[in-house]
Amino acid sequence: MTKPYPLTLFATCVWLFFHLPALLAQSNSSVQEYLDHIYPELQTLYERLHQQPELSLQEENTARLLADQLIDLGFEVQEKMGAYNLAGVFRNGPGPVILIRTDMDALPVRENTGLSYASQATGTNAAGEEVNVMHACGHDMHMTVFVGTARTLIQLKDQWQGTLVMVAQSAEETGVGAHLFFQNGLYEKVPKPDYALALHCNPYLEAGKVGYRSGPLLASVDMIDIEVFGEGGHGAAPHTTRDPVVLSAQLIESFQTIVSREINPQEPAVVTVGSIHGGTVHNVIPDKVHLQLTVRSYSNEVRDQIIEGIKRRCRHLGMAAGLSEEKLPVIRIRDPFTPTTDNDPELTEKLVGVFQKELGTENVQEMPKYTFGEDFSRYGIQDHKVPICLYWLGTVDPERVEEARKGGPELPSLHSPLYAPVPEPSIRTGVRTMATAALDLWSQ
């Protein structure tokens, strides 16, 4: 008797030919169906997080909430990996390791959105002052998407194999959180990722859309303090002094020529003097002035060139002012600095294809570079090189975006007391894109 296997195999192939597209579509619809089920809980979580912000390095309650969410889902959670950094690991058989990161900290900003769930929280800053606190950079949205993605991927764990690493990070706003994570051995304590993903709210992009850029997306950031010394005296007798106020003014003017006259015009860069403090009264020339600068660029070479230009000007203008070697300006570059966020081109291309399939081509937009900084950059530049991609999540009512384009009211920027992401569809779009991105990478 002839065995039926060839016919069975043929029939199976025919069945798959006609039904595979539907099966693949069902996988994506599963994300949306489960998201429909949990969305009300996610919006409630978002409003709770928005009302209970915590400053950088003080995210104790926020970290506890996220850790409990991951533990309830079956993750192995390690906490306090530098400040309130935590990492959850879910092993689901052999396959790629995917890391998804959220930040947790808020800003010392008084909220003025008028939302029913607006923050009334206060906190104590590093100087010991009581300040209002607000999630003015959208980290509450990031955390909500983070939880929604974790819940969705665990619900659909029969559709993927590999390892999921969910990391919640302290102190992104101050640029030290990722540094603390790696000082405490993140990549030694969790499986080393094959890919690292993150998203960030965008205050100019319509809710329901995402934005991307291959290569450099966000700038490196340096915070620089300069003490400008002098020899004080009576304001009526400046010839008897070495005036640090005048020298500071010369330095500030000179710093502006670094970018305009020394950096290749094809290389974007910023040197901003954001603070100058010196003197106490009208008629006394002080002994010193304190300057605070921020420097931003997209390459180590340009960063080094700017810093060298600042040092050179401080030395030679100080000497021209008649200062001795001991009284030349002292420069302190804060450590750690924030490296350039450089999206891996191959990974970014893959994700763009996933997003276009999930949202439609019209809802996936290539974006320009920004000179904001993001310490997610550090997840890709450790000894274990990791392809990273951070993409933008649209959060603004499309009608408001259209009004602004036509000359109407300007859209509030990140860090504005008026910035208020639209919860829906922003949360849904974040979870859909992040979850489907992970599922696609596991299927490679």
Q: Please identify every residue annotated as catalytic.
A: 103, 173
E strands, 32-187, in order: 76-78, 86-92, 97-103, 122-124, 130-132, 162-169
Angle between helices 5-51 and 139-155 (to 10 degrees): 150
Task: Label residue 46 left, alpha or beta by phi (over 0 means left) and psi (-120 to 50 means alpha).
Answer: alpha
Q: Name 206's Cβ contacts closer than 8 Å, sequence gap at least 6.
A: 394, 396, 397, 398, 401
Task: Name the one residue in this structure whose structure tokens are 């890919």.
Answer: 195
Closest alpha carbon to 113 in 402, 412, 398 = 412
E strands, 156-268, in order: 162-169, 195-206, 210-212, 215-218, 220-229, 233-234
Instruction: Kindly list the distances between the CA atom of residue 244 and the CA atoms of 91, 165, 189, 240, 392, in Å, as whole numbers in the listed order.
Output: 60, 52, 50, 13, 44
DSSP 8-class letter at 336:
S
Do 35 and 412 form a contact (C-beta atoms < 8 A)?
no
How far apart, in whole angstroms, are the C-alpha atoms of residue 186 and residue 169?
Answer: 11
Exposure class string for 285-300: b at 16+ Cβ within 10 A, else e: bbbbbebebbbbbbbe
Closest alpha carbon to 202 in 396, 373, 363 = 396
Q: What is the DSSP pairing of strand 195-206 with strand 97-103?
A: parallel
Closest alpha carbon to 173 in 59, 69, 95, 63 = 59
